[in-house]
Amino acid sequence: MRRLAVGAAATLFLAGCAGGTTGGTTGGTGGGQGKPAAISQADIDKAMKTPTELTFWTWLPDIDKEVALFQKKYPAISVKVVNAGNSQAEYTKLRTALKAGSGAPDVVQIEYQHIPGFAITGSLLDLRPYGAEALKDRFVDWAWGQVSGRNGEVWAIPQDTGPMGMLYRKDIFDKHGIEPPKTWDEFAAAARKLHAADPGVYLTNFPTNHNSIWTGLMWQAGVKPFQMKGADQVSVDVAGETSKKLASYWSGLVKEGLVSTDADFSDQWFQALNKGRYATWLTAAWGPLFLSTSAKETRGKWRVAPLPQWTAGDQKSGNWGGSTSAVVKTTKTPIAAAKFAEFLNTDPESARMLTTLQFLYPPTKALLSDPAFVEQKSDFYGGQQVNKVFADISGTVPTDFTWLPFMDQINNDWNETVGKSLADKTDPAAGLDQWQQTITTYAEKQGFKVAR
């Protein structure tokens, strides 16, 4: 169980490291050639009865069990599962295969934020002709938006998500008379109270080694940092008023010594979680299971709550992590590939297995409202219905957060600008301005016209 949980959580952590918090429509990566014609049901039925072999690249462990369900329903089709590496390793191999013109899979696992990069190069199949549009209402709106193009394309089928919440140490809160903060002002006040009472404990840790939490908090705050305006036009706005409000808030807590900036998912970070150095962890829906296997000494001490809000009474969150099943355009069996991607993530039994075997947090409305899922109680969290808390949070994620086709570069640049300013306790506004400029310069070198 620990291996599977850590594997699944690492998948979603990599999603955040590689491309920020996971989420957002693919912007404008479509070719604008109009909606392609639908494939007839007769052709679909024929294809699904024709002997076919599909190759499926994924880093999920034990996915063979879900694949077996598909093959049982469609015995003429066999699926070869290949682990081509997590996230970036897989994408590098995929780009190499596409450039060589051979060796690419039929179906591939892709994180949300990387869909634009593959879609803009014409590497993904638009799934609308294969009936994907009819699946829209099965998924939460913002997750469906992640796989939708500016011109209506459907580039992939959602597989999992990572709506963000706050895990907190109830024992530490109780000891110091702290209630779970409902606003960021209350969060700052609690940080001051806690650190004054016990200088060895921080209300939270804000890592500066990747921008996953930062991007999720931008998402929550309503920032629209990345937008595709056309095939060669992008909008970049990472240093606007709201972003600078975020930077001022977090840099202030860091400079006061109220929030640590340890690199997360490091040995030091794991030890700190077990020893009570952090009283909260701002994380995603995959975090509770990850924590329960990584900080076993704290069993029963944690609880879950929504993120604090900028305005009292609001209910908004961001997303960190998640991936999809996409069909590579070079496939010679597009119907079978499209239907496999659909089955894997929408068949009730397969979708449930993704939550029980791979421990992925579901994007489907059916599972997010299923009592068997949301009413589960966790001993690690004092009997709390953790899934239900995150199911409610999932409904508060804004639908209009989008990505650009070069998120790798954008996130690397964050480390050297905003992340560095937080770690060095220098001017965060200057770090944001620098990030804005580096993204703009890179985009223009790639041939994009950039607006703010």
pLDDT tens profile 110-128: 999 999 999 999 999 999 9
Confidence of residue 33 (pLDDT cuts 50, 70, 90): low
DSSP 163-179: BEEEEEEHHHHHHTT-P
Tokens of 294: 């990584």
The answer to whether 381 touches 27, Cβ cutoff 8 Å, is no
Query: In which band, very low, low, confident or very high, does the pLDDT at 17 lie, cut at 50, 70 and 90?
Result: very low
Residue 24 has pLDDT above 50, yes or no: no
| Contact assessment for residue 422 and residue 261, using Cβ atoms and an 8 Å cutoff | yes
430 to each of 150, 420, 433, 434, how far by Cα in Å?
32, 11, 5, 6
| CB 431, CB 415: distance < 8 Å | no
The 10s digit of each residue's pLDDT in 197-228 is 999 999 999 999 999 999 999 999 999 999 99
**41-161+321-369 carries CATH number 3.40.190.80:** no
Q: How far is CA 329 from CA 34, 91, 98, 102, 333, in A?
A: 17, 15, 10, 12, 10
Q: In this structure, are residues 118 and 67 in contact, taking their beta carbons and an 8 Å threshold?
A: no
Q: Is the pLDDT of residue 428 over 50?
A: yes
Which tens digit of pLDDT belongs to each residue from 232-284?
999 999 999 999 999 999 999 999 999 999 999 999 999 999 999 999 999 99
CA 369 to each of CA 208, 342, 354, 375: distance values in angstroms, whole numbers, following the listed order? 35, 20, 16, 9
Helix (H, G, I), strand (E, B) or coil at 235: strand
Angle subtended by helix axes 348-356 and 64-73, to nearest 10: 170
pLDDT tens digit sequence for 301-356: 999 999 999 999 999 999 999 999 999 999 999 999 999 999 999 999 999 999 99
Residue 4 confidence (pLDDT) above 90: no
Average pLDDT over residues 409-415: 96
Distance (Å, whole) CA 362 – CA 138? 11
Query: Which pLDDT score is estimated for 34?
Result: 75
Its pTM stands at 0.92
What CATH number labels 164-320+379-450? 3.40.190.10
Which one-letter amino acid corresponds to residue 184? W
Spatial strand order of the sheet with 164-169 comes to 280-284, 164-169, 302-306
Q: How far is Cα 401 from Cα 55, in angstroms, rounded to an integer?
A: 31
Task: Report the SS3 class of residue 139.
Answer: strand
- Cite the residue boundaries of each domain of the chain with CATH code 3.40.190.10: 41-161+321-369, 164-320+379-450
Average pLDDT over residues 171-179: 98
Q: What is the mean pLDDT of residues 437-443?
A: 98
411 pLDDT above the threshold of 90: yes
Contact call for residues 406 and 117 (beta carbons, < 8 A): yes
Residues 334, 125 contacting (CB under 8 angstroms): yes
> How many beta carbons lie within 10 A of that of residue 49, not counting itself?
12
Mean pLDDT of the chain: 93
pLDDT of 452 > 90? The answer is no
Query: What helix, strand, coil percent values describe the chain, rounded to 5?
Result: 45, 15, 40
